[in-house]
Amino acid sequence: MRYSSWLIGVKHRASLRNGPKPAAHWDCGQRGHRAEAKINNPEHIIHIWKRGYKTIKKIGEGTFSEVLKTQSLKDGKFYACKTMKQTINSLEQANNLREVQAMKRLSPHANIIQLHELIFDKESGTVHLICELMEMNIYEFILGRHTPLPDHTVKNYMYQLCKSLEHMHSCGIFHRDVKPENILIKQNVLKLGDFGSCRSVYSKPPHTEYISTRWYRAPECLLTDGYYSLKMDIWSVGCVFFEIMNLNPLFPGANELDQVTKIHDVLGTPDQSLLQKFKKSKAMHFNFPPKKGTGISRLIPNCPAPALSLLYQMLAYDPNERISAETALRHTYFREARLAEKNGEPFLRASGAIDGEESGGTHSSMDHICRPSKLGKQLRGRHARQTPLTSHNMKHVAEPVIKRNITHYCTALPKINMVAPRPQIPYHSSTLPAFTVTHRGTLPALTSKKCQSLLTKPRDESPHAALKTYCVPPLDRKHRGY
């Protein structure tokens, strides 16, 4: 037994020594900077290796967890391993973690990150969540772009994001931290991840005050002592919606007060009745001078009218007037996406994006996304907890000019299988026998007429060609009538 343990330890050390060398240390001050980072605790690598996973590199770290790209030694598939920094005492306690419970309850869903396996290290009390690996998050997707995304691409991602929230809310969970870093994409598929801040919709307020990232925090989270509900997720989705279209954040507040000020600069100061409702649950008294907002339409002048309508309904100041995820899916803006889903075909293919190439000039492949030469944006109002379950070995090139999204229609109608009657030998109408009918009242007399075929000739012939004429053949008498 001692010799076997010693031999396993030698293999572990050899695999670590021969493995890929991580590069620079992860810098949380640079938002979205995907440089390879050193793995702080090599013991985690050894424990994961014992459970059948090989560590490739570190792809993210936050306040509460770090994310490693791993490969299964069984089937060779790649996964994202999210290692919790919180110490757990037992496997039962690990299974009762809020994030684990949420992922199990929400699974399976096409727009929710799937939990593949939970690994618990009893000696160190560390929990590893093996999840599916995505290519990148929305923030990295739009980072450094100089041209806006095509409308059908924005519509496709927003439709899937609303579907993920509708599924969450129907399961009795709201996310509380929807932001571009937690929205993961892989080609044309979008999935919502990072459920460490989620909460049950049936839990009674007050909730945690300083939840969600500041730039995407709803007014009720800013102005109350934790009296908010699932509608806060819709506000965050509205902020993400604007950021995908405009490529810039809507309310980049430097602090809590500046965040409220930026909201009022765009949407205007709400009515006093609404502010009084917020004041009932706030120990601090606040008074905002009346201000008329500039409006969202001035910030995105080329935004389609249906998208602008949905955006205003998502960013309603009063949470009671804010649209729900279920109602948002029925909005006019998503009509084409609903029709494509009903017909069982991908929305981007129905919109003209075929074989991984979008008609608007952008490519769904991550190798054709514009990347800046320097990634030096500061965090500015965002939490340091960034744990996207993504890989980051993608290169980016400049993107061509956007073309109009022209809907393609079928050029020909489907053929109808119809057998034409064979030409018959004409007979004289005088050969037809007499046919008498006994009926009440009077019926019009039967006269023999020539029948004309209603079938048209093939496409290469003129539609005005003469029609074939046929005559009715005589009826042969049988032993029981005609």
Give residue-wise pLDDT tens across range 88-126: 899 999 999 999 999 999 999 999 999 999 999 888 889
pLDDT of residue 167: 97
**CA-based nearest residue to 108, from 171, 61, 161, 36:** 171
Residue 209's pLDDT band (cuts 50, 70, 90): confident
Residue 234's pLDDT band (cuts 50, 70, 90): very high
460, pLDDT greater than 60? no
Q: How far apart are CA 210 and CA 213, in angstroms?
A: 8
Q: How far apart are CA 107 and CA 104, in angstroms?
A: 5
**CA-based nearest residue to 168, from 106, 242, 244, 100:** 106
pLDDT of residue 461: 46
Angle at the Cα of 69 from the Cα atoms of 66 and 73, rounded to 5 degrees: 130
Residue in the block written with tokens 């496997």: 91
> Within 13 Å, how many C-alpha atoms sit on residue 333's CB side?
26
104 is in an annotated binding site: no
Mean pLDDT is highest, among 2-6, 279-283, 399-403, for: 279-283
**CA-based nearest residue to 215, from 378, 33, 35:** 378
Mean pLDDT is highest, among 62-66, 241-245, 348-352, 422-426, for: 241-245
pLDDT of residue 331: 97
Contact 336, 347 (CB under 8 A): yes
Residue 432's pLDDT band (cuts 50, 70, 90): very low
Give residue-wise pLDDT tens across range 397-417: 333 333 334 344 343 334 434
pLDDT of residue 277: 85
Q: In 62-213, which ranges are continuous DSSP H helix?
A: 91-95, 98-106, 138-142, 151-170
Mean pLDDT is highest, among 1-5, 123-127, 326-330, 431-435, for: 326-330
Q: How far apart are CA 76 and CA 14, in angstroms?
A: 20
The DSSP secondary-structure symbol of 163 reads H
H-run or E-run covering 451: strand 451-452
Check: pTM over 0.75? Answer yes or no. no
Label residues 142-173 b or e (16+ Cβ within 10 Å = b): bbbbeebbbbbbbbbbbbbbbbbbbbbbeeeb
Contact 310, 328 (CB under 8 A): yes
Q: How far apart are CA 222 and CA 209, in angstroms?
A: 8
One-letter amino acid identity for 184? L
> Within 13 Å, how many C-alpha atoms sit on residue 126's CB side?
21
Q: How far apart are CA 44 and CA 128, in angstroms?
A: 9
Label residues 384-402 b or e (16+ Cβ within 10 Å = b): ebbbbbbbbebebeebeeb
Mean pLDDT is highest, among 159-163, 275-279, 435-439, 460-464, for: 159-163
Q: How far apart are CA 195 and CA 178, in angstroms?
A: 9
396, pLDDT greater than 60? no
**CA-based nearest residue to 234, from 314, 158, 330:** 314
Strand partners, 58: 37, 68
Residue 379's pLDDT band (cuts 50, 70, 90): very low
32, pLDDT greater than 70? no
pLDDT of residue 382: 54
Alpha-carbon dihedral of residues 277, 283, 288, 292, nearest 10 degrees?
A: -40
* % of the chain surpassing 90 pLDDT: 46
pLDDT of residue 402: 39
DSSP reduced 3-state for 117: strand
Residue in the block written with tokens 């060609």: 465
Q: Which of 177, 233, 367, 460 is catalytic?
A: 177
Contact 348, 355 (CB under 8 A): no
**Quick one: average pLDDT of 261-277?**
92
Instruction: At 317, list the tokens.
Output: 């100041």
Higher pLDDT, 303 or 421: 303
474 CB-near residues (< 8 Å, 6+ apart): 427, 431, 432, 433
Give residue-wise pLDDT tens across range 140-195: 999 989 999 999 999 999 999 999 999 999 999 999 999 999 999 998 999 999 99
Q: Annotated catalytic, 355?
A: no
99 CB-near residues (< 8 Å, 6+ apart): 129, 194, 195, 196, 198
Higher pLDDT, 191 or 362: 191
Instruction: At 47, list the tokens.
Output: 């424990």
419, pLDDT greater than 90? no
380, pLDDT greater than 60? no
Quickly count: other Cβ atoms within 10 Å of residue 461's Cβ. Answer: 9
pLDDT of residue 159: 97
**Quick one: average pLDDT of 301-325?**
96
